[in-house]
Chains A and B, each alone.
Chain A
Amino acid sequence: MKALHATWTLFAKECRLEFRTRELLTATVVFSLIIIVFFSFAFDPTPAESRRYGPGLLWIAFFFAGSLMVNPSFAREQINDTLDALRMAPVPSFAVLSAKILANLLFLSIAEAILVPVFSVFYNVSLAGIVGRLILVLVLGTVGLVITGTVFSAISAHARMRELLLPVLLLPFLTPVLIAAVSTTISLFGDARELDRTWVTFLAGFDIVFLAASWILSDFLAEG
């Protein structure tokens, strides 16, 4: 109960900080929109090409958006050494980490809620009849991306050139998630419009394993 209360308090703090400055949301949404819109103009894909290659582009946009978004999670705590204040407070380390994971999940979900309709229009991909299943894939893929990204944000927070280091560290770990998420989205956009249950199970398994790992490592991660 105490951990949940602390997580909620810290999540509210993360949201307040972000919605006050809107640094992350603005930068990531604009950057991802540019990727989606520019690729649409550059390749002018047919509907069949869009259904085949669009999911890959969409998830690459999410990956870059996620990388940008999770980067400052722990770095912004260094400005006044506020992470020290959080470490001294009688709250579990996982509460600090999970609040950041939840906040990043919310921010990236907002970005995706803007990007997916834009993708649908520019790439002429109808989402009719698959919205529910698409949301399931987006949630599972985004959770994996955000958990891994936030953990690596904690690891790279003290590194020089962390903006460069984080995506480099992150990509090898997220490759399985990207493959699974893209494959599932392709099957969903295909003629059969079906969900590939194997990949969905894989995504759920990845999320559970990395969430457990982040819980186990939370004390080490909070030490910075």
Chain B
Amino acid sequence: MASAAAPPHTGQQGLGIRFDRVERRFGPLVALRSVSLEIIPGEFVALLGHNGAGKTTLLRIAAQLMRPSRGSVIFVGPRPGAPVADLPGKPGDEIPAASVKALVGLVGHSLLLYDELSAAENLTLFAKLYALDSVSARVAAALESCGLATRATSQVRTFSRGMRQRLAIARALLHSPRLLLLDEPAAGLDTQGLAWFSATLERLRGDGCTVIMSTHARNESLDLATRAVVLAAGRVQDDSGPGADPRPLLESLRAEA
């Protein structure tokens, strides 16, 4: 697994997202209660909280896989002065949700991969759907990066849990997203996989990609976080805030855990 051979990144700023009094109900259950949160482009946010706190719901709303019952979600372009290239609108502008699909990546609880397709076929399918150029080269680079080049033609159903997770991460990164949503992404990764994943996250952070990662407090990848947000019972319980050092909050959570 070589992070150096990872899919090429644009080196452009990430995409910001603003949750404005977002509420989400599932029948009588309220998963999110008036969550207001602004994630600034390029931030690496650790989203923490116990099971059922609303982390997955918030990430699914950010991924536009779920609509809020109340409130709104607004995507915001890079900070003024940052390179924007093909991003719609001017830096700092609000961007219509429909325009950001190609800029968002998700690693969810599920793999989002077809078991009966091979690793290469899965990545090729999504590379084509994202209308990427040099599909074969990108797919080869992604497989090399996640250490699955030798299993490129094997069907995903033959993979171990860790291999599947690595491929799921490679799939989410294939189109060089500017907003990466990670929901317990380290689940199933072995030591080698975790090292590759941490290196990949570090590279993404260096590239200015906005990352929101839901995880538990003991995850080593949290050392990369530039901000920590704690959810409890669907509300923002604690937020280290943009620009502030998240380590004191993370340390206190680790001590509690």
- Of the candidate stretches A28-36, A65-73, A76-84, A143-151, the one touching chain B is A76-84
Residues on B with beta carbons closer than 8 Å to the beta carbon of A193: none
- The answer on a CB contact under 8 Å between B116 and A21 is yes
Residues of B within 8 A of A17 (CB): 114, 116-117
Among B63, B102, B125, B171, the residue within 8 A (CB) of A9 is B125
Q: What DSSP secondary structure best describes chain A's contact surface? A: helix
Are B108 and A81 neighbours in the complex by a CB distance under 8 Å?
A: yes
The docked-state distance in angstroms from the alpha carbon of A17 to that of B112 is 15
A2 touches B129 (CB 8 A): no
One of A53-61, A86-94, A113-121 contacting the partner: A86-94
Residue total for A at the interface (Cβ-Cβ under 8 A): 22
For residue B65, CB closer than 8 A to chain A, the reply is yes
Known: A2-B131, A89-B101, A90-B101. A81 touches B125 (CB 8 A): no
Do B121 and A80 touch (CB < 8 A)?
no
Which residues of chain A have C-beta atoms less than 8 A from B171's C-beta? 85
- Taking CB atoms, residues of chain B closer than 8 Å to A16 are 117, 121
Residue pair B114, A84 in contact (C-beta under 8 Å): no
A20 CA to B115 CA, complexed, in Å:
11
Given contacts A9-B125, A13-B125, contact A88 B106 (CB under 8 A): yes
B61 within 8 A of A: no
Contact-residue bracket for chain B: 20 to 34
Please tell me which one of the listed residues A80, A84, A90 contacts residue B65 in the complex, with CB atoms under 8 A apart: A84
Q: Say whether, besides A13-B114, A13-B117, A90-B101, A84 and B108 are in contact (CB < 8 Å).
A: yes
* B73 contacts partner chain A, Cβ-Cβ < 8 Å: no
Assembled-state Cα–Cα distance A85/B104 (Å): 11
The answer, among B102, B113, B125, B128, for a CB contact under 8 Å with A80, is B113
| A13 and B114 alpha carbons, distance in the complex (Å) | 10
**Could you say which residues of chain B place their CB within 8 Å of the CB of A84?**
63, 65, 106, 108, 110, 112
Binary contact track A162-190/B, C-beta < 8 Å → 1, others 0: 00000000000000000000000000000
Give the nearest-CB partner of A6 in chain B.
Answer: B129
A180 to chain B, nearest CB (A): 37
A20, closest chain B residue (CB): B116
Judged by a CB distance under 8 angstroms, whether A158 is at the interface is no
A5-37 interface (Cβ within 8 A of B): 5-6, 9-10, 13, 16-17, 20-21
Give 22 CB contacts A-B under 8 Å: A5-B128, A13-B114, A13-B125, A79-B115, A80-B110, A80-B111, A80-B112, A80-B113, A80-B115, A81-B111, A82-B112, A82-B114, A84-B110, A85-B106, A85-B113, A85-B126, A87-B65, A88-B63, A89-B129, A89-B130, A90-B101, A90-B130
Given contacts A79-B115, A80-B115, 5 further A-B contacts (CB under 8 A): A9-B125, A84-B65, A85-B171, A88-B65, A90-B102
7 shortest interchain CB distances as A-B pairs: A81-B110, A85-B112, A89-B129, A90-B101, A90-B102, A80-B111, A9-B128
